[in-house]
């Protein structure tokens, strides 16, 4: 039989203490892996948008449901990386690069937490919080999926606790931007839920969705981007008379994903209605195949404006066409048709090659840019603008090319991505400006290179508005906005093209871009936008660091140096704020 041997009292106390320490250690050590169904302190939004009586109700019997049927097996998008391509040396180099980006994210997050916690963004020079997006904590919500992807679980849980207390009815403004609230707040919540499974995030997304859905309570059920809270509660909301194409076209992914996750069809219905208007008008604009930068939503979706671009006011409306095809599992062919028609028009009229100096030791780089077109329906004028916002187009062309089996579009995407990377390289800071212009080659169907013309460049340069400071690199003629605002579009396309083509030189391009961005924007506490990318020496900082720095820029730099299976392009599709949504699969995944 067993014999219990009595122990001295101090030994028993020591043993109990040791056991307690061990248990505490494992609880703390595993705290970041506790299932995220914790009992957070949850604050319900103080105004019940779900029970608001609409002025222009949509009968449930008339609502368009999500497409039925088994999702299709979409064409593979991501390159299949072999062990040879991911050698030990390769992986070590990328791990060091990835860690450098992660440290920048930690530095950013710590500064936000100390000086601007719960505010929309940190002002990195004055070290105080600023609210430009209703004061709901844009950086907090926008950063959720970045924190998760980077393995910062403690910081993620800290953020979720704060998000659980957001009251969408308490704001520092009488209205909100439907577009910005959708891509940053709703997109951020849905993506973080897709990644973590934390139900509180879906609950907050559903509350916000009810409020944003009210923007469609107009006579024609097209949205008012300026969602005035008083007007909508009184039934006095109207669709916008002059709305940017981006604002109306960049709601579809978020509203669709919300319908997929909640089972409520109303969000998808209003998006499908917008799609039908885009489809109806695509061939009747002043540049058939594209929509102008501004649309009259109040009066039958009139598209009479004459400016067409992939830059500001238009960009993400085109980005979402192929991505909606993916998000719906290929069950709505309309999005494929819309994308392909738009891509054809863009290729024919907006894309151009810059005239490059003959100082290259070998052949000049094979690059493209996307400009702005003015058209009256017959006479078409190309403005050879180079917009940082438009740098997303490389990824758009390449993604559509893979989805729709068009290798020419993949190659166009690569040339566009390399164009923006080249524009980074030629400026003294290693970063391209917000908006600039170059001397273009004459447009040809093949978009072929042309000879350098020094006389023409000098004429264009002298005729351009004063740029100030040091001379511009050739072939740039003017910088209309010389700032860098911590934007992600250039690295976004470089990331997408690396994942699609597997070409490893994109990694070195990305690292060179990252080193330049870090050197030009880093401060003692965080990172700042800069005044002039053509500055020689130290840069003048701007007291601005928008939420997309964490949501997009740092995420794309981190992901390009990560294991390609981390957020694979075959499993996720990114919204325009770089929030990845899980794709539906034939096996039933994605719910």
Cβ–Cβ under 8 Å, residues 564 and 507:
no
List the chain residues with pLDDT less than 70: 1-39, 361-362, 465-469, 587-591
The pLDDT of residue 419 is 98
CA 41 to chain CA centroid, nearest Å: 30
Q: What are phi and psi of 23, to 5 degrees?
A: -60, -45
Render pLDDT for 318-351 as a digit per residue (tens, 0 to 9). Answer: 999 999 999 999 999 999 999 999 999 999 999 9
Distance CA 20, CA 24 (A): 6
Q: Is position 576 annotated in a ligand binding site?
A: yes
Alpha helices in 116-236 (DSSP H): 138-142, 144-149, 153-163, 178-180, 187-196, 199-213, 229-233
Catalytic residues: 180, 315, 434, 489
Q: Which two tokens stand for residue 263?
A: 């089972």
First to last CA, the chain: 57
Render pLDDT for 370-380 as a digit per residue (tens, 0 to 9). Answer: 999 999 999 99
Nearest to 353 by CA among 312, 380, 384, 389: 384
Render pLDDT for 183-234 as a digit per residue (tens, 0 to 9). Answer: 999 999 999 999 999 999 999 999 999 999 999 999 999 999 999 999 999 9
The pLDDT of residue 585 is 85
CA 337 to chain CA centroid, nearest Å: 23
Nearest to 387 by CA among 484, 259, 286: 484
CA 12 to chain CA centroid, nearest Å: 59
Distance CA 589, CA 584 (A): 5
Contacts of 334 (CB under 8 A, 6+ apart): 275, 279
Q: Which residue has the tokens 């040396």?
A: 89
Q: Which residue has the tokens 């302190």?
A: 41
Specify burial of residue 125 (Cβ count, 10 A radius: 0-12, 13-18, 19+): middle
Distance CA 457, CA 357 (A): 10
Cβ–Cβ under 8 Å, residues 548 and 388:
no
Query: For the whole model, what pTM was predicted?
Result: 0.92
């Amino acid at each position: 039989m067993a014999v219990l041997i009595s122990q001295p009292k101090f030994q028993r106390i020591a043993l109990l203490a040791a056991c307690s320490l061990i248990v505490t250690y494992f609880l703390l050590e595993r705290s970041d892996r506790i299932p995220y169904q914790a009992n957070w302190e949850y604050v319900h939004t103080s105004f019940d948008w779900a029970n608001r009586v609409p002025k222009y109700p949509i009968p449930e019997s008339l609502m368009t449901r999500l497409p039925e049927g088994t999702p299709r097996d979409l064409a593979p998008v991501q390159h299949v990386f072999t062990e040879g391509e991911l050698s030990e040396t390769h992986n070590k180099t990328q791990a060091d690069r990835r860690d450098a980006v992660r440290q920048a994210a930690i530095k950013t997050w710590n500064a936000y937490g100390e000086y601007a916690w719960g505010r929309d963004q940190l002002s990195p020079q004055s070290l105080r919080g600023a609210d430009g997006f209703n004061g709901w904590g844009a950086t907090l919500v926008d950063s959720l999926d970045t924190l998760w992807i980077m393995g910062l679980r403690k910081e993620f849980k800290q953020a979720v606790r704060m998000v659980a207390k957001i009251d969408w009815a308490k704001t520092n403004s009488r209205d909100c931007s439907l577009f910005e609230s959708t891509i940053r707040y709703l997109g951020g919540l849905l993506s973080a839920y897709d990644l973590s499974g934390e139900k509180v995030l879906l609950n907050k997304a559903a509350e916000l969705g009810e409020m944003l859905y009210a923007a469609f309570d107009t006579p024609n059920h097209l949205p008012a981007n300026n969602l005035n809270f008083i007007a909508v509660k009184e039934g006095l909301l109207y669709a916008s008379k002059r709305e940017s194409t981006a604002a109306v076209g960049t709601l579809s992914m978020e509203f669709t994903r919300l319908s997929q996750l909640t089972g409520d069809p109303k969000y998808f219905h209003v998006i499908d209605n917008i799609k039908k208007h885009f489809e109806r008008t695509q061939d009747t604009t002043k540049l058939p195949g594209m929509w102008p930068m501004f649309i009259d939503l109040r009066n039958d979706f009139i598209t009479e404006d004459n400016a067409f671009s992939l830059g500001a006011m238009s960009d993400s409306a085109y980005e979402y066409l192929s991505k909606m095809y993916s998000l719906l599992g290929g069950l709505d062919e309309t999005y494929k048709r819309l994308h392909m028609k738009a891509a054809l028009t863009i290729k024919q009229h907006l894309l151009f090659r810059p005239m490059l100096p003959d100082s290259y030791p070998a052949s000049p780089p094979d690059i493209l840019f996307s400009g702005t077109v003015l058209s009256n329906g017959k006479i078409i004028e190309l403005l050879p603008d180079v917009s940082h916002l438009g740098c997303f187009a490389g990824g758009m062309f390449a993604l559509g090319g893979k989805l729709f089996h068009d290798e020419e579009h993949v190659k166009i995407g690569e040339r566009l991505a390399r164009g923006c990377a080249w524009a980074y390289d030629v400026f003294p800071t290693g970063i391209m400006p917000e908006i600039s212009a170059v001397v273009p080659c004459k447009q040809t169907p093949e978009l072929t290179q042309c000879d350098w013309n020094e006389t023409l460049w000098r004429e264009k340069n002298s005729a351009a508005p004063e740029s100030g400071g040091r001379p511009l690199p050739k072939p740039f003629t003017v910088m209309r906005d010389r700032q860098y605002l911590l934007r992600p579009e250039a690295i976004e396309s470089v990331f997408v093209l690396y994942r699609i083509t597997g070409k490893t030189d994109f990694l070195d391009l990305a690292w060179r871009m990252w080193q330049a961005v870090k050197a030009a924007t880093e401060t003692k506490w965080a990172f700042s936008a800069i005044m002039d990318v053509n500055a020689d020496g130290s840069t003048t900082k701007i007291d601005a660091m928008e939420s997309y720095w964490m949501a997009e820029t740092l995420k794309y730099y981190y992901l390009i140096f990560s294991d390609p299976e981390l957020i694979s392009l075959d499993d996720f599709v990114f919204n325009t704020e770089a929030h990845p949504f899980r794709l539906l699969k034939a096996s039933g995944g994605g719910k």
